[in-house]
Amino acid sequence: MKFNLGRGYLAAIIAICSFGIAAHGPVTPQSVDTSTLPKLSEEWEETNPYRDEQGDTRKEILRIGASAYNQNCARCHGLEGISGGIAPDLRQLATDYDGDEWYIYRVQNGAVRNGAVYMPKMTEHLNQEALWSIRTWLESVSEKE
């Protein structure tokens, strides 16, 4: 009898733990409507092509970028870019060419350790417009100079 109770506990603990994982949601990225953003070519840019946009265009880039970030990156990198420690705080990325280079590397390659996917390859799910709008939004909340 006692033994069974112990097992019940174990099952409950396992159920709670897997619920915790499920609560983070599926890792499948959400598609982003980028039809209102300046069009980019198929080739990957080497620097953020949206960085110097001004006025309404910039506003639209930031609007899409913030929402795309919250849908696709926030569950690991934190809401509003404030990392809870699961993944790096992206407000710390350099806002210049060096940051762009590292950003491109990561969104193209994701992060795999010992065969486990820590971050999916984002370029397989999001287009260049979506990813640069996210980058532009991240620069706008950056903690770097």
Specify the 3-state DSSP secondary structure of 77: helix
Other CB atoms closer than 10 Å to residue 12's CB: what's the count? 10
Q: Which is nearer to ligand HEC, 61 or 73 (CB)?
A: 73
Residues that bind ligand HEC (CB under 6 A): 27, 72-73, 75-77, 87-88, 90, 93, 103, 106-107, 111, 118-119, 122, 134
Q: With contact defined as beta carbons under 8 Å apart, do 87 and 76 qualify?
A: yes
| Residue with Cβ nearer ligand HEC (53 or 71) | 71
Q: Which is nearer to ligand HEC, 28 or 41 (CB)?
A: 28
CB of 118 to ligand HEC, least distance (A): 4
Our CB check for ligand HEC shows the closer of 63 and 106 to be 106
Torsion of CA 82, 54, 45, 90, to 10 degrees: -10
Question: At closest approach, how far in Å is the CB of 128 from ligand HEC?
Answer: 12
**Among 124, 116, 94, CA closest to 29:** 124
Which token pair is 62?
């930031």
Backbone angles phi, psi at 126, to 5 degrees: -120, 145
Shortest distance (Å) from residue 120 CB to ligand HEC? 6
Quote the least distance from Cβ 42 to ligand HEC, whole Å.
19
**What SS3 state is found at 114?**
coil
